[in-house]
Amino acid sequence: MSHDFLHEVAEPARQVREGSRFEVVGREDFSESTFLLRIHYPLLAKAAKPGQFVIVMSQEHGERIPLTIADFDPDSGIVTLVIQAVGKTTMEMQQNCQVGAELFSLVGPMGVPSHIGDAAKVICVGGGLGVAPVFPHARAFKQNGAYVIGVVGFRTRQLVFWEDKFRNYCDEFIICTDDGSAGIKGLVTDGIKVAMDKHPDIDEVIAIGPPVMMRACAETTRPHKLKTTVSLNPVMVDGTGMCGGCRVKVGEKMMFACVDGPDFDGHQVDFDDLANRLRRFSEEEKIAAERWSKSCRAVKATHGPHPGETGPRPQGEGEPTAG
Ligand SMILES: Cc1cc2nc3c(=O)[nH]c(=O)nc-3n(C[C@H](O)[C@H](O)[C@H](O)COP(=O)(O)OP(=O)(O)OC[C@H]3O[C@@H](n4cnc5c(N)ncnc54)[C@H](O)[C@@H]3O)c2cc1C
Ligand code: FES
């Protein structure tokens, strides 16, 4: 093969690779374990809809993890992800994904967009990390002319984020903290009750957060027969309906969260089944996180701390994981 031919083939390939860089152009750290990444990806920022997610590989030999698109701006071409470091991959991202870094791959938007119908009054509920993924819903309902009540829950005031961002699109905004250091003292279910008592005409509740929180929200609204949509976060691998890893039980049906969801009717979801499935790989996840932490300590002992490193957090601490 001539050198010219190789050059002709290689040059466009290089351009494609260069054209598909997933550069981290912004980062904020909300707490010891939660951080935000802004990624420049104009096509995705244009195509994304509330409720959708991406599958990310932060490095070539890493695993694929699903992350909800927490914000998207077609004008700037920026997509926002909010991530909680809970295990090997997310801790690795917390350490390595600084401004200027590139993700190896980012595929999306995946999943069925949330149905932003003609509801006149809605409650958008986010717990812990689930606060970020429910933001696009609040904005979309508001832009559709709905009266939007935001209810967000955190352990304590220091963990509160995006308050101003929500207030821009919410007609009412209720913060709930476990210790009462901000807003009302209590859980998001207390916030939902406050909103329901004041407004007997709510059409729909959207709740995103850890499974235990979404289940509690669904039980709060069930006696009132109030439509409640939840966003499920089972373990996903391909995200395209092929591996079956993300099976969830909804009513009498088995569904794949990646292609049939992740939104489902909260009153129909079998949350016990979801909790069991989320525990399936806990032993392997623990080993992977320990191995990674050990290798970090070894690197640190030789080269000193990584710039901007906040350090891995032992599993089980911090805010609850949300999808
Ligand atoms: C649709 C969807 C959206 C999500 N959005 C977000 C988000 O916006 N921000 C965020 O921080 N997290 C999100 N998650 C969860 C996130 O994917 C997991 O926290 C991440 O995969 C954990 O990987 P790890 O190696 O760091 O931790 P591990 O130690 O491997 O796992 C920690 C816990 O995360 C869950 N998990 C592990 N692997 C996966 C996987 N491949 N798919 C789903 N869950 C997994 C398990 O319950 C496990 O117990 C989402 C999950 C789903 C399904
Ligand atoms: S992630 Fe494989 S089928 Fe849903």
Q: Is the CB of 244 under 6 A from ligand 2?
A: yes
Peptide bond between residue 262 and the one before it cis (omega within 30 degrees of 0): yes
| 3-class state of residue 189 by DSSP | helix
Dihedral pair phi/psi, residue 156, rounded to 5°:
-155, 165
| CA 323 to centroid of ligand 2, rounded, Å | 15
Q: Is the CB of 64 under 6 A from ligand 2?
A: no
Instruction: Look at residue 112 in the predicted model and tell me its pLDDT.
Output: 96
pLDDT at 146 > cutoff 80: yes
**Segment 278-295, tens digit of pLDDT:** 766 666 666 666 776 777
Atom of ligand 2 minimally distant from the CA of 257: 4
Instruction: Look at residue 275 in the predicted model and tell me its pLDDT.
Output: 85
| CA 119 to centroid of ligand 2, rounded, Å | 31
Which tokens go with 61?
Answer: 């030999």
The rounded distance, in Å, linking the Cα atoms of 174 and 191 is 6
Exposure string for 272-284, b = 16+ CB within 10 A, e = fewer? eebeebeeeeeee
**Segment 160-180, tens digit of pLDDT:** 999 999 999 999 999 999 999
Instruction: Residues 16-110+282-323: name the CATH superfamily.
Output: Translation factors (2.40.30.10)
Nearest residue by C-alpha to atom 2 in ligand 2: 243
Q: What is the mean pLDDT of residues 233-261?
A: 92
Q: What is the mean pLDDT of residues 40-58?
A: 95
- H helical segments located in 148-248: 163-167, 188-198, 211-221
Q: What is the mean pLDDT of residues 207-218?
A: 95
Q: Could you please report the per-residue DSSP string of 253-292? A: EEEEHHHH-SEEETTTB-HHHHHHHHTTTHHHHHHHHHHH
Instruction: Look at residue 141 in the predicted model and tell me its pLDDT.
Output: 97
Task: Give 129's pLDDT tier (boundaries 50, 70, 90).
Answer: confident
| CA 92 to centroid of ligand 1, rounded, Å | 13
Mutate to test the pocket of ligand 2, among 238, 255, 260, 264 (most ligand atoms within 8 A of CB): 238
| CA 93 to centroid of ligand 1, rounded, Å | 12
Task: Give 300's pLDDT tier (boundaries 50, 70, 90).
Answer: low
Exposure string for 137-176, b = 16+ CB within 10 A, e = fewer? bbbbbbeeebbbbbbbbbbeeebbbbeebbeebbeebbbb
pTM for this one?
0.84
Which tokens go with 152?
Answer: 């967000």
pLDDT at 22 > cutoff 80: yes
What are the sequence ranges of the domains in the chain?
A: 16-110+282-323, 121-278
pLDDT at 234 > cutoff 80: yes
Task: Give 130's pLDDT tier (boundaries 50, 70, 90).
Answer: confident
Identify which ligand lies nearest to the alpha carbon of 108.
Answer: 1
pLDDT at 23 > cutoff 60: yes
Name residue 252's amino acid.
E
Question: Fold for domain 121-278?
Answer: Rossmann fold (3.40.50)
The rounded distance, in Å, linking the Cα atoms of 57 and 5 is 32
Q: What is the mean pLDDT of residues 122-131?
A: 92
The rounded distance, in Å, linking the Cα atoms of 99 and 28 is 10
Listed range (3-17, 89-103, 252-266) with the worst mean pLDDT = 3-17
pLDDT at 224 > cutoff 90: yes
Q: Is the CB of 254 under 6 A from ligand 2?
A: no
**Segment 64-85, tens digit of pLDDT:** 999 999 999 999 999 999 999 9
Three-state SS for 30-60 is: CCCCEEEEEEECHHHHHHCCCCCEEEEECCC
| CA 155 to centroid of ligand 1, rounded, Å | 20
Listed range (75-84, 138-147, 270-279, 310-319) with the worst mean pLDDT = 310-319
Q: Is the CB of 245 under 6 A from ligand 2?
A: yes
CB 170 within 8 A of CB 131: no
Task: Give 25's pLDDT tier (boundaries 50, 70, 90).
Answer: very high
